[in-house]
Structure 1
Amino acid sequence: MTDKPRLLVLVGPTAVGKTAYSLEIAKAWNAEIISGDSMQVYRGMDVGTAKLPPAEREGIPHHLIDICEPEYPFSVAEFQSRCQELIPEIHARGKLPFIVGGTGLYVESICYNYQFSEVGSDEAYREELQQLAQQQGNEELHRRLCAVDPEAGKRLHPNDVRRVIRALEIYKLTGAVMADQSRRQEKTSPYELCVIGLNTERSYLYERVDQRVDLMMEQGLLAEVERLLAAGVPDTAISMQGLGYKELVPYLRGEYTLEQAVYLLKRDTRHFAKRQLSWFRHMQDIQWVELDRLQNFNDALQIIHDIIAGKFKEQREYKSNQSYL
């Protein structure tokens, strides 16, 4: 046994089914859910982030959803700080803190108490890069990042000018790339940690991604993007670099057709799911549950239940009334 506080974590690629499982797990284990998604923090960005409406949360508290405006540059350091306040508060209520999400760095920053060093800043260099972007375009700025930090170049969209500039600034100030910071972490957890990863057959996951994008379009994703732009949210904001937003903005500018925009959104989401899986496969302590497309929801839920019970040395009797496939 350990005197460390318990922390339950559920991760996996987008569209794998984390939300449905998280509700049943939270009910069984008397948990409160903390969103581990870097985009669901933004108010008014509901369709594109697949945000679960409050009426469908089945009375389970959900934290770190709708906590800031789309113009706000929310960061992993702020996510970590908020979680470090939330987790003991949830324990004090006699509940189990339960992080659910697919943003790998955010989740790991909590699981292993990452230390984010203050690199400092170079205002003159920032201004120089801003002028470069204005004069030669965001793509040129992004090309320079890819030359010195290919990993960050793959992760950041060219229009995410603020983060591209920050990555270049870090490299100039330290001679090191952004990913080095996470690699240097000791990765020891302050929690009694139970981390479960959901995965499924790749072709089936990609089918689910395509279906999710089609559903988002039916639910009004395009209108959501139009409304955000009309409200004055700049297309360079961090929030607008999220999937579904950065693909539709160019359509609204007339740069390509809606059909092309939807194609790009599906493609980018599939690529994102692949990157998520790659990240989580390197995460220590994770126990994977492979979800076959024909597997009964309750059977998979029982496997998850057994993992949690084995880790926390505590048995719970429960069965879902849901009939997800």
Structure 2
Amino acid sequence: MNARLTKGKGAGDLYRCVCRLMSTHENPFGIKGEKRTKDDLQRERMSRGLPKKLPIPGVKYVVVVASGKGGVGKSTTAVNLALGLAANNPKSQVGLLDADIHGPSIPCMMNLQGQPELNKQNLMKPLMNFGIKCMSMGFLVDDKQAIVWRGPMVMSAVQKLLRQVTWGPLDYLVVDMPPGTGDTQLSLSQNIPISGALIVSTPQDIALLDARRGAEMFHKVDVPVLGLVQNMSVYICPKCGHAEHIFGQDGASTIASDMGLDILGDVPLHICIREGSDQGQPVVVSKPQSSQALVYKQIAAQVTEKLSTMAPIDQSSPQNKDKT
């Protein structure tokens, strides 16, 4: 490079340009510098000024259930996953957090209503049903009231549901995420340690495209993706038993193979799953021996197996103290 760096604005601009070029993978000037990939640069930018990740007191593992888009059965999966974790190991303590501020559905699915009580430390006590500790914005506002909030208010509400609730002691906290890859997902990933994410999708191509985006988002924020759940994989006629792949067949297999992910389960499209959710009687508790309930329990068993290889998030939780 023949240009001379002289004092002044032009020299400063040129110097900054050279520094930027040196920080990228391609270095047209041949100046020796550290080569970093685009992913490295993006992680560095995302980490600047972020708060330190603090565990939720008394919670060993946090599992988020997410999807790239709405309407794929994410909340139903989250509810039955939590119940499956509890059913597979009756000694385990499980919690369920509804992080979908604008469209909370956990109160209906878990057949819960009313406002949470406060303890002496002014912390909210989760409502409980079927042995699962639950918290949702739906407990704090009228079910007919629209929550018209901007991003900062939503983030503040999520923080309160995480930090101002007496969650512990818990073995597992299942978080029902809102659809998409927006502020809530990013805020949770950057503020609390997450043990793993479950991506829910239907087999149709348009849903799988969004599922891929959801999985990629968690990769970028260093959250392990435990696997995919293919929901509504096949319709089984309750009268004749005929099976029909309404949304396509094995659509998640290609994406799972491309991304190196496991398919944790294929959940059929069956009326008993829908009716149980609407009536506040999820299929895992209303029909625990049905084939539909067994699918959710098998998914929960695989999640437990994957988490068993990871260190608990809160090493000071009461459960860990009891084992030492």
Larger radius of gyration: 2
TM-score of Structure 1 vs Structure 2, range by shorter chain: 0.3 to 0.5
* Bigger share in strand: 2
